Amino acid sequence: MDTTFLGEVAARRGVALAFAAQCFIAGSAAAQISGLVTRAGGLPLEGVSIEAWSVDRRVGATITDAQGVYSFSETIALTTVMLRFGALGFEVAEVAIRSGVPTYDILLTEAPLAVEGLVVTMEEATCEEGREDPRGRALWQYARFRYDGLMDTLGIATYLAEADTIVPLSELGSLKLPTLNLSQRGSSSLLRFNWTRRIDKDGYAFAIRRMDGGAPYDSWVYPPLEADFAPHFVDDVFGERHRFVIDDEGPDGWLLAYCPKDTGKPSIKGTITIARDTTFAAVDWLFQTPEPMEHAGGRAYFTPILSRSVLSHLLPAEAVIWRAVPAGDYLQSYQRYEDWRVAPGDSVPLLPLRRERVGAGVSR
């Protein structure tokens, strides 16, 4: 492992936001920070992730409620110098905290996801053709150790808001969604173990027959990397199967490209966005399979780690996945997760009914 590079990463974790002291004035008033997040037309946005940053680290994180409202406690407000707003399908926005100002309303700008690899002239990833950067693998190792990846004896569950849409290629990545369906999602350790074993045997997809308007067609089933199988990205199995190259780096962190070592079976390639504090911010992936080519893939966003004293698992806050359907369009599935529960044993944790949002008409 490149110890010199790891030293550079550790140093950047400590000073990457030092520039903020020159640009922002920390909130000094003993008052909580709150506000409203909207989209074009003044519509409130639910499920937007807001991070509170001090000069050198994230000190808090929350999401907007059904009315687009968020808030941070007085304790967090005392050390916050910047708010960072992010949601799938919208541009990231940052707001400097001003002394004596407790309220920050913001309008997010829509930004369709850049879905790579869906055109014939796609550029090859920087890690293809056998290339690997030792600094890239060292960065992945450094970031993955921030998480407790051992979930083989745990059941997990979460509240879920989701919507499926059929869109043409030209609109893929534009999250103009209908009202979201509210439900729950969970999995046992045995189910995730079976996925790991299937990947070892068959690769990252297995063949299936589906029905479309009464007509059968060949398709693929893919592991739920966008949901409860996302911890796979910090697992030894993932690291053994892929090469890593740092594709880009800047004050906000790194873009780490990964490619399969073996393409003899269905595989995945994509990028991992690592934040300036060396936690996972997002993962993108594209499935590579034999015919039929469904150009399937996905993107998942993750919440920050706020405490070293609490075990953290790589479980997403939001995700979108897609695959081609026989008509030539794409099935696009958006999912938002809230309040992941982890419990020892092979059973799925029981979640109480989410009564406060039933019938709320959640939409994005």
The reply to whether 363 falls in a domain is: no
H or E element at residue 78: helix 74-79
The reply to whether 116 falls in a domain is: no
Counting every residue written for the chain, the total comes to 364
71 and 185 share a domain?
no
- Round to whole Å and give the CA distance between 17 and 188: 39
What's the CATH number where 9 sits? Answer: 2.60.40.10
pLDDT of residue 17: 43
99 and 196 share a domain?
no
The reply to whether 117 falls in a domain is: no
- Round to whole Å and give the CA distance between 230 and 261: 20
Which residue among 91, 107, 123 closes a domain? 107
339 and 226 share a domain?
yes
Backbone angles phi, psi at 330, to 5 degrees: -125, 140
pLDDT of residue 124: 57
Nearest to 162 by CA among 287, 340, 314, 338: 338
- Round to whole Å and give the CA distance between 301 and 284: 9
Parent domain of 44: 3-107
Beta-strand (E) ranges in the chain? 33-38, 49-53, 58-63, 69-72, 82-86, 93-96, 106-107, 154-167, 181-187, 206-212, 215-221, 242-250, 253-260, 267-275, 280-288, 297-302, 316-324, 330-344
180 and 320 share a domain?
yes
- Round to whole Å and give the CA distance between 97 and 84: 11
The reply to whether 49 falls in a domain is: yes
What is the domain count for the chain?
2
pLDDT of residue 311: 58
**Strands 33-38 and 106-107, sheet pairing:** parallel
Give per-10-residue mean pLDDT for the chain (364 aa).
60 47 44 92 88 85 90 93 90 92 94 62 57 90 85 88 89 81 89 91 94 88 95 94 92 91 92 90 93 92 71 88 91 90 85 57 48
51 and 185 share a domain?
no
336 and 267 share a domain?
yes
159 and 69 share a domain?
no
pLDDT of residue 361: 39
- Round to whole Å and give the CA distance between 187 and 171: 32
Say if residues 317 and 337 touch (Cβ distance below 8 Å): yes
pLDDT of residue 358: 36
Helix residue spans in 134-288 (DSSP H): 134-144, 189-202, 236-241
pLDDT of residue 308: 57
234 and 353 share a domain?
yes
